[in-house]
């Protein structure tokens, strides 16, 4: 008797926590859930070490990005559109956003 009450309340807690988050996702993005999770935007801050507009790449010394478990580091990113690099130059302090594209995080905005 006690056990079944425990199981029932555990189930109730699970459904209470999972249903609202699904509902929220659907309201925010009218996309399939699988698509939505890969298109999640991550925000970061950093300094431009080297911009390589010709190749659509930029090397950033970025601060920690806890959302994806990264510490601070210097690394090269691809940019989604080379035009994004028009308004930035070496040494600029920037804020940027990333989305996961395949295996790589690609910069979708930088300023």
Side-chain half-sphere of 30: how many Cα atoms within 13 Å? 0
Sequence-separated (6 or more) residues with CB below 8 Å from residue 36: 25, 29
Task: Give the range of 14-22, 39-47, 72-80, 93-101 binding Cu ion by CB under 5 A.
Answer: 72-80
Site for Cu ion in 51-70 (CB under 5 A): 70
End-to-end CA distance of the chain: 61
Provide, rounded to whole angstroms, the least separation between the CB of residue 10 and Cu ion: 39
Nearer to Cu ion, 31 or 64 (CB): 64
Q: Which two tokens stand for residue 17?
A: 């926590």
Residue nearest Cu ion, CB atom distance: 75
Residue 75 in the binding site for Cu ion (CB under 5 A): yes
Task: Give the range of 5-13, 20-28, 44-52, 73-81 binding Cu ion by CB under 5 A.
Answer: 73-81
Provide, rounded to whole angstroms, the least separation between the CB of residue 53 and Cu ion: 20
Q: Is the dihedral of CA 81, 82, 85, 90 positive or negative?
A: positive
Which strand (E) or helix (H) includes residue 48?
strand 42-52
Q: Which two tokens stand for residue 103?
A: 């295996």
Chosen residue from 73, 81, 89, 93 binding Cu ion by CB under 5 A? 73
Instruction: Catalog residues that contact Cu ion under the rule CB under 5 A.
Output: 70, 73, 75
């Amino acid at each position: 008797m006690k056990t079944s009450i425990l199981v029932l309340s555990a189930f109730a807690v699970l459904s209470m926590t999972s249903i609202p988050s699904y509902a929220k996702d659907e309201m925010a993005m009218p996309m399939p859930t699988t698509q939505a999770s890969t298109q999640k935007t991550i925000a970061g801050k950093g300094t431009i070490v080297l911009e390589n507009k010709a190749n659509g790449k930029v090397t950033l010394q970025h601060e920690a990005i806890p959302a994806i478990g990264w510490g601070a580091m210097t690394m090269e990113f691809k940019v989604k559109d080379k035009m994004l690099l028009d308004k930035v130059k070496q040494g600029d302090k920037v804020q940027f956003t990333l989305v996961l594209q395949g295996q790589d995080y690609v910069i979708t905005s930088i300023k």
